[in-house]
Every structure is written in structure tokens, then in C-alpha cells.
Amino acid sequence: MEDKRVIVTKGMVGICHMQVCAMADATDEEILAVCNQRNPSGTTNGWMSVIRENTPEEDTFWPIKEWKPVTCQKFPERKHFIVGC
């Protein structure tokens, strides 16, 4: 694995989402900067949000339970995050 704090692992998850593997302490700003640079969404606003543990359950835009961050199986200090545009 590259020695980077945020790595794009799935450039497309559904129509408006992607997945990254990032250090567990990576900020939304850090994750979104890498996403917008390495895998531009093609939308006017680009990648705009990262699903976190504290994303409200009533936020109907996200299938929350399935898309919350999970620990990376290969690198336990990292998590897989879903990002939306």
C-alpha cells in the first residue's frame, strides 16, 4: 500500500459516491481534497461530504447503516469511508 494518509479504493460506489481508505484520524477536508484531486466527480461542486459515525440517522440521503466507516482489514489503523458528491 502506498504511504499516503488517504487512498482512493473504489472510484465509484453507486452513482454519486466513492470509497477511500484513510488513516482513522484523517479530517473531512483532507479526505475531500484527495478525492477531488485524484478522482474528480464531474459535478459542479465535486465531492462534498464524508460519512462518519456521527452522521445523523435521519439524514435520508445516505443509507447510513451500510455506509458508516469500517476498519480496514489489512491495516487496522485505517478506515474505509464513503464520500458523496
For the chain, the domains span 6-84
| Residue of 48, 42, 38, 43 whose CA lies nearest to 9 | 38
pTM: 0.85
| pLDDT tens digits for range 22-76 | 999 999 999 999 999 999 998 999 999 998 887 666 665 666 667 889 999 999 9
Q: What is the pLDDT of residue 15?
A: 85
User: What's the confidence (pLDDT) of residue 1?
Assistant: 43
pLDDT tens for 3-24 read: 599 999 999 988 889 999 999 9
What whole-number distance in Å separates Cα of residue 78 and Cα of residue 6? 9
